[in-house]
């Protein structure tokens, strides 16, 4: 729909609001004006919107496609012991990593989540409560597009990563009305890759999502 409808129709309030009512189960109060309000509200209000979010998207276990999961599992450095999943959501991916890493941790702005075998902490991606290079592998899926301060968020996930960072974001054009709370859009590979400096970057597109692997200058990842 984003690629084929003329913007004058695709981003028209009269066209989108009825569709948003279906997707968000009639709870569109915080959605329609979200992009305009997101930078004006407090951090607590921002968190509250996500904790109270109701949408058809919450009915699925993960936003990752099967191809995404295959790519992630193939890319993960062999022999790594620690993994942090930033924006852990409902814990689908982090739960799959339990037993494959000695330590699996996850964080999100959602209230307490119980994921067996995963150390969960409520925290913002823009201020991670972890030491520099604390985790060998850091993953961040369908999260960067939601952050209010994108460059700060990226610096944080790079800061806590010692060997490999794996990221998935939607390949999406910018519109006022979207079926999500996205604040950042990445229609082209360079829209994402330009933020990742001081290391090696590989980007590919699978199932409509950008998949990025970043390794710091002092690290080598398997390809």
Phi, psi at 27, each rounded to 5°: -100, 80
- pLDDT per position as a tens digit, 40-62: 999 999 999 998 888 888 888 89
Q: What is the pTM of this model?
A: 0.93
Average pLDDT, integer, range 55-80: 92
Check residue 221 and give its pLDDT.
Answer: 46
Res. 220: pLDDT tops 80: no
Average pLDDT, integer, range 139-149: 97
3-class secondary-structure state, position 158: helix
Q: How far apart (Å, rounded) are the C-alpha atoms in residues 32 and 30?
A: 6
Average pLDDT, integer, range 16-33: 89
Q: Confidence class of residue 219 from pLDDT cuts 50, 70 and 90?
A: low
Average pLDDT, integer, range 138-156: 98
- Chain length of the chain: 223
Check residue 222 and give its pLDDT.
Answer: 41
- pLDDT per position as a tens digit, 164-210: 999 999 999 999 999 999 999 999 999 999 999 889 999 999 999 99
Q: Which residue has the tokens 């790594």?
A: 80
Average pLDDT, integer, range 97-116: 93
Q: Which of 17, 90, 86 is nearest to 53 (CA)?
A: 90
Structural domains of the chain ordered from first start: 7-58 (no CATH), 62-216 (3.40.50.150)
Q: CA torsion sign, 74 to 79 to 83 to 89?
A: positive
């Amino acid at each position: 729909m984003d690629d084929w409808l003329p913007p004058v129709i695709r981003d028209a309030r009269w066209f989108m609001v009825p569709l948003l009512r279906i997707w968000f189960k009639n709870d569109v109060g915080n959605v329609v004006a979200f992009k305009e309000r997101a930078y004006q509200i407090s951090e607590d209000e921002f968190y509250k919107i996500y904790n109270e979010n109701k949408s058809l998207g919450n009915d699925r276990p993960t936003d990752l496609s099967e191809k995404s999961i295959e790519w992630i599992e193939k890319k993960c450095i062999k022999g790594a012991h620690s993994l942090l999943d930033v924006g852990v959501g409902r814990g689908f991916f982090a739960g799959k990593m339990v037993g494959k890493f000695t330590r699996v941790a996850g964080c999100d702005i959602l209230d307490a989540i119980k994921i067996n075998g995963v150390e969960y902490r409520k925290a913002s991606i823009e201020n991670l409560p972890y030491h520099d290079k604390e985790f060998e592998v850091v993953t961040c899926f369908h999260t960067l597009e939601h952050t209010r301060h994108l460059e700060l968020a990226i610096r944080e996930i790079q800061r806590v990563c010692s060997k490999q960072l794996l990221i998935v974001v939607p390949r999406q054009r910018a519109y006022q009305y979207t079926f999500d709370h996205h604040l950042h859009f990445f229609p082209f590979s360079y829209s994402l890759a330009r933020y990742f400096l001081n290391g090696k970057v590989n980007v590919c597109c699978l199932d409509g999502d950008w998949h990025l692997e970043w390794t710091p200058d002092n690290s080598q990842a398997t390809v």
